[in-house]
């Protein structure tokens, strides 16, 4: 299936698609034709999109046009700012679908530009008059009342009647008379031609939109990402940008933004701390020296056993266990800066640097180390992350376990396309209504697409005239439009149930290390038992909001 051609139906599913619901939901936004203002419905408490109104309503973008352009520019643009990881999904797939949607629309716009030249620019006076009429009609119709809609329709009918009278009673003679007639008729004929082009493209875009949400694995072929020769610098640059995006997605560096929690992982809903003094088990002997990393390494090894249990009852799926470097940023920060230098390779903080941070940076400014165990559940719609950190200050060893949860993407992105319909009264039974189907592309939409087409070659001017979509910063595809999981009973249960076994595994692994190094673990054991009792009935709280 080539980009820009009509989709022929479901394709062969790709292996692993069953866990890509969040990816395909966000990718479907690239093909949508709803108003761009609908993206505001998906904003959450911490991230808000910015929709600029533009100057001429006739050039305004729809949601798919604005979303795909904004995502491509933000995630692949030269000199772009760092991105936040999108856990539980593949951002490259979303970007590729945005590129594919742009290609389909570019093919349509090329054809519409030809229509505009042949039926519009050659007969410019008539084109300008018709565009002015539709601009006034669009402005009037934006008012939310029935009288405005009726007035807009009346205006178009009245102008059509005047045009018909003008054709019959022409005030000119000779060449200019025929030119004036053509200037009135040619834009109308161009509209019919453009409608066929727009209707076919709309069917293609909607088929892809529906296919992504139906699990039919619509492919996003982007041929410009594959260089065909040594001179294809643009294709090579795009390929490198996609590779850079994938590398940043695998980064082990994350950012803590105060009440917003760890960006990409969600807010912190619970915290459990075990802190006791390090005393020797045998007063006659000293404690064998050990480091925080020794405790973390033991915890890491034990967490790998979480998927195993004494009973064959399902239980935990295999989690992702990683060491994270957490960088603090301001609550309202609009950008982040990833660690760099010799200790970082391809956005990955090296192991020896992680050990140094774990053992030394436990107080004061600087990055912090956390061991994370993460589950991607509900087809990528729920991200559960439990973070463990170990600190030693003076004689006190503290083991802290915190729970983070990122909920499903907003329902806006999971809504399937609906055919436009209208309720009309029945002919013989006017007290009853019947539903009729409307064309996918209406009169105003054909005019909008055709007027925009020649300007798509220079997006800055088009954005200035019609408006654009500003993505929430610091930007990450997943957390920007995520809902809280607590509104979904089973998702909330999954998040709460994960806390108890993780906490007990962490405590048992840590106490084992302490015993091996001659530490009196009686108080640690008592405190662990108390926490194990308290965590049996956890409830989500805003743990990052301190009531001080």
- pLDDT for 215 equals 74
Query: Does residue 349 sit in helix, strand or coil?
Result: strand
Cis check: omega of the bond before 337, within 30 degrees of 0:
no
From the number of C-beta atoms within 10 Å of its C-beta (0-12, 13-18, 19+), residue 351 rates as exposed
pLDDT of amino acid 176 = 59
Which one has a higher pLDDT value, 251 or 191? 251
Structure-block tokens of residue 458: 């220079």
User: Would you say 337 and 358 are in contact if contact means Cβ atoms under 8 Å apart?
Assistant: no
How far apart, in whole angstroms, are the C-alpha atoms of residue 83 and residue 73? Answer: 12
pLDDT at 394 over 60: yes
Q: How far is Cα 520 from Cα 398, in angstroms, rounded to an integer?
A: 15
Coil, strand or helix at 529: helix
Q: How far is it, in rounded angstroms, from Cα 372 to Cα 305? A: 14
| pLDDT over 90, % of the chain | 23
Q: How many CB atoms lie within 10 A of CB 547?
A: 4
For residues 297 and 354, what is the distance between their CA atoms, to the nearest angstrom? 12
User: 10 Å Cβ neighbour count for 357?
Assistant: 23
The conformation of residue 482, written as its DSSP 8-state character, comes to: B
Tell me the residue ranges of DSSP E strands in 407-472. Answer: 421-425, 433-437, 469-470
Give the 3-state DSSP-derived string for 141-209, with helices as H, strands as E and coil as C.
Answer: HCCCCHHHHHHHHHHHHHHHHHHHHHHHCCCCCCHHHHHHHHHHHHHHHHHHHHHHHHHHHHHHHHHHH
pLDDT given at position 17: 39
**What pLDDT score was predicted for residue 31?**
93
- Cα-Cα end-to-end distance for the chain: 59
The pLDDT assigned to 139 comes to 62
Nearest to 384 by CA among 481, 477, 316, 330: 316
Strand 396-406 and strand 382-393: pairing? antiparallel
Q: What would the mean pLDDT of 528-547 be, rounded to a whole number?
A: 68
Confidence of residue 7 (pLDDT cuts 50, 70, 90): very low
- How many angstroms separate the Cα of 14 from the Cα of each of 149, 249, 383? 46, 21, 22
pLDDT tens for each residue of 115-153? 888 776 666 666 677 667 666 666 655 555 555 455 555
Question: Is residue 415 predicted with pLDDT exceeding 50?
Answer: yes
Angle at 407 between CA 266 and CA 498, to 5 degrees: 80
Q: What is the dihedral of CA 540, 546, 547, 548, to 10 degrees?
A: 170
| pLDDT band of 192, cuts 50, 70, 90 | confident
In the predicted structure, residue 489 carries a pLDDT above the cut 80 = yes
Residue 247 sits at the vertex; the CA angle it makes with 404 and 348, to the nearest 5 degrees, is 70
Mean pLDDT (the chain) is 81
The dihedral region occupied by 500, where left means phi > 0, alpha psi between -120 and 50, and beta the remainder, is alpha
Yes or no: say if 377 and 87 are a contact pair by the CB < 8 Å rule.
no
pLDDT at 322 over 90: yes
Q: Please compute, for residue 257, the number of CA atoms within 13 A of its CA located in the half-sphere on the CB side.
A: 23
Strand partners, 270: 403
Return d(Cα 65, Cα 29) in angstroms, integer. Answer: 9
What's the rounded Cα separation, in Å, for the pair 513 and 536?
A: 25
According to the model, what pLDDT value does residue 386 have? 93
Residue in the block written with tokens 């941070």: 357
Query: What percentage of the chain carries pLDDT values higher than 70?
Result: 78
Q: Does pLDDT of 13 surpass 70?
A: no
Q: Are 396 and 519 in contact (CB under 8 A)?
A: no
462/469 Cα distance (integer angstroms): 12
> With 90 as the cut, is the pLDDT of residue 522 above it?
no
pLDDT at 226 over 80: no
CB of 467 closer than 8 Å to CB of 54:
yes
Q: Confirm whether pTM is higher than 0.85.
A: no
Average the pLDDT over 273-285 and give the result.
82
For residue range 351-376, what is the model confidence (pLDDT) as tens digits? 999 999 998 888 888 889 999 999 99
**Range 339-356 average pLDDT:** 89
Annotate 221-280 with three-state secondary structure: CCHHHCCCCCCCHHHHHHHHHHHHHHHHHCCCEEEECHHHCECCCECEEEEEEEEEECCE
**Confidence (pLDDT) at 350:** 92
Give 371 or 453, the one with higher predicted confidence.
Answer: 371
């Amino acid at each position: 299936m080539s980009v820009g051609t009509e989709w022929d139906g479901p394709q062969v599913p790709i292996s692993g698609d069953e866990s890509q619901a969040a990816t395909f939901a966000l990718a479907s936004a690239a093909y949508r034709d709803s108003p761009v203002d609908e993206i505001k419905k998906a904003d959450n408490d911490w991230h808000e999109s910015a929709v600029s109104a533009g100057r001429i309503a006739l050039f305004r973008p729809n949601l798919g046009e604005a979303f795909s352009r904004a995502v491509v520019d933000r995630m692949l643009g030269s000199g772009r700012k760092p991105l936040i990881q999108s856990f539980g999904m593949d951002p490259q797939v979303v970007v590729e679908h945005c590129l594919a949607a742009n290609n389909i629309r570019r093919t349509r716009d090329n054809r519409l530009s030809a229509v505009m030249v042949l039926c519009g620019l050659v007969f410019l006076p008539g084109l300008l008059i018709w565009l002015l009429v539709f601009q006034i009609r669009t402005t009037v119709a934006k008012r939310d009342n029935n009288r405005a809609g009726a007035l807009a329709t009346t205006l178009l009918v009245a102008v059509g009647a005047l045009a018909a009278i003008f054709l019959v009673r022409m005030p000119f003679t000779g060449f200019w008379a025929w030119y004036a007639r053509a200037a009135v008729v040619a834009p109308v004929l161009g509209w019919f031609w453009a409608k066929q082009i727009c209707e076919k493209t709309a069917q293609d875009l909607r088929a892809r939109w529906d296919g992504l949400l139906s699990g039919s694995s619509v492919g996003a072929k982007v041929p410009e990402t594959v260089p065909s020769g040594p001179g294809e610098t643009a294709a090579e640059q795009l390929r490198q940008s996609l590779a850079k995006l994938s590398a940043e997605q695998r980064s082990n560096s994350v950012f803590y933004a105060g009440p917003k929690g760890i960006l990409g992982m969600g807010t912190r809903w619970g915290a459990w701390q075990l802190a006791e003094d390090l005393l020797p088990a045998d007063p006659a002997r000293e404690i064998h020296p050990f480091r925080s990393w020794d405790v973390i390494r033991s915890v890491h090894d034990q967490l790998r056993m979480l998927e195993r249990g004494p009973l064959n009852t399902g239980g935990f799926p295999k989690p992702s266990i990683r060491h994270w470097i957490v960088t603090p940023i301001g609550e309202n920060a609009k950008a982040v800066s990833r660690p760099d230098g010799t200790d970082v390779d391809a956005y990955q903080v090296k192991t020896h640097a992680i050990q140094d941070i774990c053992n030394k940076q436990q107080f004061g400014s600087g990055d912090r180390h956390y061991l994370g165990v993460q589950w991607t559940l509900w087809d990528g719609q729920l991200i559960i992350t439990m973070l463990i950190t170990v600190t030693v200050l003076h004689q006190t060893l503290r083991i802290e376990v915190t729970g983070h949860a990122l909920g499903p993407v907003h329902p806006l992105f999971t809504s399937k396309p609906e055919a436009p319909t209208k309720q009309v009264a029945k002919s013989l039974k006017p007290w009853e209504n019947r539903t009729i189907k409307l064309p996918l592309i209406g009169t105003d939409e054909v005019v909008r697409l055709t007027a925009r087409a020649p300007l798509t070659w220079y997006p800055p001017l088009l954005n200035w005239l019609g408006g654009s979509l500003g993505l929430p910063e610091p930007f990450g595809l997943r957390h920007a439009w995520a809902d809280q999981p607590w509104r979904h009973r089973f998702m909330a249960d999954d998040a709460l149930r994960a806390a108890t076994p993780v906490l007990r595994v962490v405590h048992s692994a840590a106490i084992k290390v302490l015993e091996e190094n001659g530490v009196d673990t009686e108080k640690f054991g008592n405190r662990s038992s108390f926490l194990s009792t308290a965590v049996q009935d956890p409830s989500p709280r805003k743990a990052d909001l301190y009531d001080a």
